[in-house]
Structure 1
Amino acid sequence: MSKAVSALDGATFEGFAKVAETGLRGMITVRGDLASKEMAAAVKATTGAAVPAQRKVVTGDKGAVAWMSPDELLVVVDYDQAEAAVAQMNEALKGSHALVANVSDARAVFRLTGDGNRDVLAKLAPVDFAHEAFGADDIRRSRIAQVPAAVWGNADGSFEVICFRSVAQYVFDVLKVSAEVGGEVNHLG
Structure 2
Amino acid sequence: MKKIIAVGMAVGILCLSACVSKPEETTPVTTAMVTTKQTTETPTEATTQETEPTVPETSPVPVEPILFEKNGITMVYVSHEVGEDRDGNPALVVSFGYTNVAEKQNPPGWQFEAHGYQNGVEQKRGDPVYKDGKLLSTSAQWLEYTPGTTISYTFTFTLTDLTTDFVLEVNDNIFDEGQGEKKSMLLKLS
TM range (shorter): under 0.3
Q: Normalization by structure 1: what TM-score?
A: 0.24
Q: Normalization by structure 2: what TM-score?
A: 0.24
Q: Which has the larger radius of gyration?
A: 2
**Greater fraction of residues in strand:** 2
Q: Quick one: higher RCO (CA 8 Å, sep 6+), 1 or 2?
A: 1
**Greater fraction of residues in helix:** 1
